Structure 1
Amino acid sequence: MACASWLHLHSPSLTRVILPILHHPTAFLHRFNIFTSPARFTSSVNQTNPLLTPVHAQAKRGFSSKDHKMASAEDLQFEPPLKIVEYPDPILRKRNKRIDTFDENLKKLVDEMFDVMYKTDGIGLSAPQVGINVQLMVFNPVGERGEGQEIVLVNPRVAKYSKKMVLFNEGCLSFPRIYADVQRPESVKIDAQDINGARFTIDLSELPARVFQHEFDHLQGILFFDRMTDEVLDSICKQLEELEKKYENKTGLPSPEKVETRKRKKAGVGFGKS
């Protein structure tokens, strides 16, 4: 049985969204790196059309150009191959600048981001995760080069999100081998720009909505453990401490944050809150 398309697009200008998803729902589950737990996901799928979940709750606020400074040409410079930035590198907490230059360099950056995403068995990746602090993300829910739909979102903002919340077991390329439950809205409506600068709107639900929210958090300097309950966070504390120690051994610097001593100031339900 073929899987229904996961994405409902409102603009034909969305670059790279050109390949139909023709896979059984379980075809990409074992490819997860960002998200695991096939049983939990499969049980929540609406096989008729998972994208028709209504988006009915207005987001508390959107993000305008005033919220983020504009990126300079220097901010967008990079040297391939890109490498994944791991927690607790302070790059992951920095403010990410908006992009207003849509050129060949940006397209090359997008290509490199997809390349490292596929090589690390991911299904989504944000620019700060490869050391570039700009408002850019890429993802492909199938997680396989040449299959599924490659989505590029530049300067995204949330227009609406659903009241219905879903608990799901997440992982993150910046937190290798760490997985834990995170609750997020089931569906979102997004305003963004494509790789050529054209504005568009996209509705996402189920897995694509979760991938987007995870990567959107990265663009706000929010990490997935910020949204975990105290009990869930306690279950991965030792692993986070190991990453902090790894950072200290590698850099010779003290960890910029420590899960053991930090005040557990949680990111609120919704977007842009911390």
Structure 2
Amino acid sequence: MALLPIIVAPDPRLKLVAKPVAEVDDAVRQRLSDMLETMYDAPGVGLAAPQVGDSRRMLVIDVAGQDEEPRPLKIINPEIVWESEQTKSFDEGCLSLPEQYAGVERPAEVTVRYLDENGERQELTADGLLAVAIQHEIDHLDGVLFVDHVSSLRRNLILRKLTKLKRQKEKAAG
């Protein structure tokens, strides 16, 4: 397995819509394993392929707490097939927007249909943090960041801060 570089906003690659995975093969399984290792190392609870420069519709999630046994999910070509009318606000962060957080209102429960790492069709109904993570990561596959769900003032503030940090890092490295 290998750690993959995580793309940090603002970066145009994070705004692209990912393409469906045509075939679940060993290369896809390896990429999912690498994504999982990268997510755990970051650390985070979810990571979508576009965040590591891969334009395919796949993601990994593990919302188990630090003292719990890992419960990794490897999700390919996900599609939300049901969402509750009830919504819930959750303070979200993102590995592609380091140290930035904002409250995002989303459906409290969702059902997602997807392929697992063996190419088998699965369906999962989730609530709580898992529902938030699923919706957040599927947004990445559609070129949407969590800051796209907040006010333009808040979004611009966060993106300006990240641009400034990026420039400082480039200057220090260059």
Q: Does 1:93 align with 2:15?
A: yes
Q: Distance in 1 between matches of 2:68 and 2:107?
A: 29
Mapped contact 1:89–1:247 kept (Cα < 8 A) = no
State the shift of 1:144 in Å.
4.8
Say which SS state the counterpart of residue 158 (structure 1) adopts: strand
Structure 1 residue corresponding to 2:92, chosen from 154, 170, 178: 170
Q: Does 1:195 align with 2:114?
A: no
Name 2:162's counterpart in structure 1. 243
State the shift of 1:245 in Å.
3.5
Name 1:106's counterpart in structure 2. 28
Q: Deviations over 1:211-242 (max 9, x none)?
A: 000001000001101111x2xx5346433202
Higher strand share: 2
State the shift of 1:248 in Å.
5.5
State the shift of 1:121 in Å.
1.3
State the shift of 1:205 in Å.
0.9
Say which SS state the counterpart of residue 212 (structure 1) adopts: helix
Note closer, same or farther for the CA distance 1:144–1:195 as it changes in structure 2 (3 Å cut). farther
Within 5 Å, give how 1:88-237 maps onto structure 2.
88-142=10-64, 144=66, 147-228=69-150, 230=151, 233-235=152-154, 237=156
Higher helix share: 2
Say which SS state the counterpart of residue 116 (structure 1) adopts: helix
Structure 1 runs of 4+ with >4 Å offset: 143-146, 246-252
State the shift of 1:143 in Å.
5.4
Note closer, same or farther for the CA distance 1:148–1:130 as it changes in structure 2 (3 Å cut). same
State the shift of 1:80 in Å.
4.0
Question: What is the number of equivalent residue pairs in this alignment?
Answer: 171
Q: Distance in 1 between matches of 2:4 and 2:57?
A: 17
State the shift of 1:188 in Å.
0.5
Q: Aligned AA for 1:163?
A: E
Name 1:49's counterpart in structure 2. none
Say which SS state the counterpart of residue 160 (structure 2) adopts: helix
The answer for unaligned runs of 5 or more in structure 2 is none
Q: Distance in 2 between matches of 1:145 and 1:214?
A: 24
TM-score normalized with structure 1 length: 0.58
Q: Distance in 2 between matches of 1:162 and 1:129?
A: 27
Say which SS state the counterpart of residue 138 (structure 1) adopts: strand
TM-score normalized with structure 2 length: 0.89
Say which SS state the counterpart of residue 163 (structure 2) adopts: helix
The answer for unaligned runs of 5 or more in structure 1 is 1-78, 253-274
